[in-house]
């Protein structure tokens, strides 16, 4: 029985790259259910790809094969890896893009993809997504023995997303991701916030933590706990990123309302 194969790339949709990967998958597994997580990761942006995968993988059925191709090192000596963890499979370059998702699982198995029977030959030095990662995912989907993909690999490259820090009643963090609505997603979870009258402070501004967008007037700033489980800065019916000029990596903090 074929598995779900989920694609996450920086290839965009104006070229043939993502479609070529799907074609390579379907040539091997015509029954594969292919899902696009997104193909709009900024070019070469490994942390953004890592965050997107972390935010959505657990909503997929067990056994899903995730193919993550954000690969600025394509054609170099960086390994191509397949990884099994938490009941899922992952196929990606060994550049850290998988580490935030799998680091909390204790059952990680890693294989370096070296078996030529699992590749599309000849392998292009500029398109491992089509010739290495997509075919490997399709073979896994069809039930190919995971251990036969290549030799075992004990470690992998880590991409450490910034971690929020508690400093007394204040939590200091940073913006991890900006979504298409302009919401600024931080690395602060609500479990870190101990006060009931919390406000988010950044760039000289102070805004309330609300339960939903409608808690403030249209065009007003607010912070909410987003669907990814992190506190994010938003504008009711607006675009916080455009309005504020905040970008990934900028610092934010959450603490008690200083006026109370």
Domain with CATH 2.40.30.90 in the chain: 165-256
Pair 170, 253: CB distance under 8 Å? yes
Residue 173's closest CA among 223, 215, 227?
223
In our burial notation (b when 16+ CB lie closer than 10 A, e otherwise), range 58-95 reads eebeeebbbbbbbbeebeeeebbbbbbbbebbbbbbbb
Q: Is 119 exposed, middle or buried (0-12, 13-18, 19+ CB in 10 A)?
A: buried
DSSP string, 147-178: GGSS-B-S----------EEETTEEEEEEEEE
Q: Is 185 helix (H, G, I), strand (E, B) or coil?
A: strand
Give the whole-angstrom CA distance, residue 39 versus residue 13.
7
Note the pLDDT tens digit of each residue in 28-61: 999 999 999 999 999 999 999 999 999 999 999 9
Q: Class for domain 165-256, per CATH?
A: mainly beta
Note the pLDDT tens digit of each residue in 117-160: 999 999 999 999 999 999 999 999 999 999 999 999 999 999 88
Please, which residues bridge with residue 256 across strands? 198
What is the percentage of the chain residues whose pLDDT exceeds 90? 83
Tell me what pLDDT residue 203 has. Answer: 81
Please, which residues bridge with residue 7 across strands? 36, 67
Give φ, ψ of 9 to 5 degrees: -140, 175
Domain with CATH 3.40.50.10790 in the chain: 4-148
Tell me what pLDDT residue 149 has. Answer: 98
pTM: 0.92
Tell me what pLDDT residue 198 has. Answer: 83
CA distance to 190, 213, 259, per residue, from 223 (Å): 11, 8, 18
Tell me what pLDDT residue 169 has. Answer: 84
For the segment(s) 4-148, the CATH number from 3.50.50.60, 3.40.50.620, 3.40.50.300, 3.40.50.10790 is 3.40.50.10790
Q: How many residues are given for the chain?
A: 260
At 168, the pLDDT band (50, 70, 90 cuts) reads confident
């Amino acid at each position: 029985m074929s598995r779900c194969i989920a694609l996450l790339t920086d290839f965009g949709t104006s070229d043939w790259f993502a479609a070529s990967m799907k074609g390579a998958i379907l040539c091997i597994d015509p029954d594969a259910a292919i899902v696009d997580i997104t193909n709009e990761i900024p070019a070469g942006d490994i942390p953004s790809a890592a965050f997107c995968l972390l935010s959505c993988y657990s909503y997929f059925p067990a056994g899903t094969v995730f193919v993550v191709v954000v690969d600025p090192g394509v054609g170099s000596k960086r390994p191509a890896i397949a990884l099994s963890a938490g009941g899922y499979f992952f196929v990606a370059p060994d550049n850290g893009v998988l580490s935030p998702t799998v680091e909390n699982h204790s059952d990680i198995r890693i294989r370096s993809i070296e078996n030529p029977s699992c590749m599309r030959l000849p392998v292009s030095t500029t398109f491992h997504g089509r010739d290495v990662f997509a075919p490997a995912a399709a073979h896994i989907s069809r039930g190919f023995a995971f251990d036969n993909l290549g030799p075992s690999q004990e470690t992998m490259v880590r991409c450490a997303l910034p971690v929020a820090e508690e400093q007394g009643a204040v939590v200091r963090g940073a913006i991890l991701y900006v979504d298409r609505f302009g919401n600024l997603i931080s690395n602060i979870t609500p479990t870190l916030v101990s006060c009931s009258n919390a406000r988010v402070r950044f760039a000289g501004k102070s805004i309330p933590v609300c339960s939903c967008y409608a808690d403030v007037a249209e065009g007003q700033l607010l912070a909410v706990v987003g669907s990814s489980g992190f506190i994010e800065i938003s504008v009711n019916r607006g675009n916080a990123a455009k309005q504020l000029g905040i970008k990934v990596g900028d610092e934010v903090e959450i603490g008690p309302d200083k006026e109370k």
